[in-house]
């Protein structure tokens, strides 16, 4: 009878121990595998950025600041046991609602980040370009600008301070957020080489232009008209002028050389500007592009319209289209009609 009581007590103690072990195991499981991320957005996810050089403590600060973890203590516990402190990797991470601590730590520890869809267009200068890119990637705009102005960098890519802008073809590119400025330029150069495939290279040779010259002319076309169905005709006017040895006399090049993009009406005084971009003073193409032309403008130059037009002028209805002319007399008539409308609208500068 006594032995039975002892056995009963042993069974009770064992049951209690098993229950405690089960509770402890459940708590451990809950710490690691229960949902601990709360993201209240329309998409049920957010992007979490870990800057280059971050420590585990700085990651924790950013996590707490953003507030997407419900129980930070349990996250620290899992992170410690997975040795995340020694495997902090910078990048842009997609954090999904209801992720567990285990899922989150594995993600951050693996370095499996989401690329940025880097987009840039409608830019005139390298300063604007550096600013736009740095808004989307980790590096600072000044860091990129220093490289863009470095002669050694120009030589590396076979360009110069005037043609460096040619390397950046406006588009959308998948790229990792923490890519360095140096690696970014390597990537853009690779994309530039890819853009100038066999077809485009042959087309450039057929019209007697290098890729950089094509882009330079395309930048003028890009600034002259936003009408897609007019770009090839505008490109044809400038090709006719180049082939005849005439000055391009393109107003956008004068504005670029002056650097005042608020100018709406180019006046005689502007034509006197001392700038290598002043195509009223110098024959031929300017030394480099006056903007980052879009792909349609580049292809418009490569496939320019063959015609006899030498001149063009904005239409007086301000539709964005132009009137084209074969003779100076005809052009002057078109120009006077446009100037009259500028005066009526009080656009004097």
Neighbouring C-beta atoms of residue 91, cutoff 10 Å? 24
Of 58, 77, 110, the residue at which a domain comes to its end is 110
pLDDT, mean of residues 13-42: 65
Mean pLDDT computed over every residue of the chain = 91
Tokens representing 158?
Answer: 């076979």
Backbone angles phi, psi at 172, to 5 degrees: -115, 130
pLDDT tens-digit profile of 212-268? 999 999 999 999 999 999 999 999 999 999 999 999 999 999 999 998 888 887 888
Residue at a domain's end among 138, 173, 195? 195
CATH number for position 73: 3.30.1490.480
Of the listed ranges 53-62, 200-209, 327-336, the one predicted with least confidence: 327-336
Mind giving me the DSSP string for 32-74?
HHSB-B---STTSEEEEEE-TT--HHHHHHHHHHHT-BS-HHH
Q: How confident is the model over 175-196, as a mean pLDDT? A: 98
Residue 284: pLDDT over 70: yes
- Same domain for 175 and 250, yes or no, is no
Question: Residue 172's pLDDT is what?
Answer: 97
Contacts of 114 (CB under 8 A, 6+ apart): 47, 92, 93, 94
Domain count, the chain: 3
> For residue range 127-182, what is the model confidence (pLDDT) as tens digits?
999 999 999 999 999 999 999 999 999 999 999 999 999 999 999 999 999 999 99
Of 92, 110, 128, the residue at which a domain comes to its end is 110
Task: Kindly state whether residue 115 falls inside one of the protein's structural domains.
Answer: no
Phi, psi of 292 (to 5 degrees): -95, 95
Full domain range(s) for residue 165: 120-195
CA atoms within 13 A on the CB side of 28: 7
Q: What is the pLDDT of residue 30?
A: 63
């Amino acid at each position: 009878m006594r032995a039975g009581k002892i056995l009963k007590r042993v069974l009770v103690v064992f049951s209690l121990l098993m229950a405690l072990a089960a509770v402890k195991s459940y708590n451990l499981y809950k710490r690691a595998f229960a949902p601990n991320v709360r993201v209240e957005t329309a998409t049920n996810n957010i992007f979490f950025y870990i800057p280059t050089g971050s420590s585990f403590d700085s990651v924790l600060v950013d996590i707490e600041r953003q507030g997407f973890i419900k129980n930070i203590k349990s996250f620290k516990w899992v992170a410690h046991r997975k040795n995340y402190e020694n495997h902090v990797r910078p990048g842009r991470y997609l954090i999904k609602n209801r992720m567990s601590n285990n899922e989150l730590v594995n993600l951050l520890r693996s370095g499996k980040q989401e690329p940025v869809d880097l987009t840039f267009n409608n830019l005139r200068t390298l300063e604007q370009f550096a600013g736009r890119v740095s808004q989307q990637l980790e590096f600072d705009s000044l860091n990129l600008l220093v490289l863009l102005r470095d002669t050694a960098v120009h030589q590396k890519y076979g360009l110069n301070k005037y043609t460096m802008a040619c390397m950046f073809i406006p588009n959308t590119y998948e790229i990792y957020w923490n890519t360095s400025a140096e690696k970014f330029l390597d990537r853009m150069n690779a994309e530039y080489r890819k853009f100038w495939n066999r077809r485009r290279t042959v087309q450039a040779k057929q019209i007697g232009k290098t890729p950089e010259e094509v882009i330079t002319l395309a930048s003028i076309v890009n600034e002259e008209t936003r009408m897609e169905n007019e770009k090839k005709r505008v490109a044809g006017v400038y090709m006719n002028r180049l082939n005849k040895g005439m000055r391009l006399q393109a107003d956008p090049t004068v504005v670029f050389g002056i650097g005042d993009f608020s100018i709406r009406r180019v006046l005689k005084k502007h034509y006197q500007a001392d700038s290598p971009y002043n195509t009223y003073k110098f024959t031929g193409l300017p030394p480099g592009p006056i903007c980052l032309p879009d792909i349609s403008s580049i292809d418009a130059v490569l496939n320019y319209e063959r015609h006899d037009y030498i001149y063009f002028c904005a239409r007086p209805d301000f539709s964005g289209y132009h009137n084209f002319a074969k003779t100076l007399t005809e052009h002057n008539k078109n120009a006077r009609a446009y100037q009259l409308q500028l005066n009526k609208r009080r656009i004097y500068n």
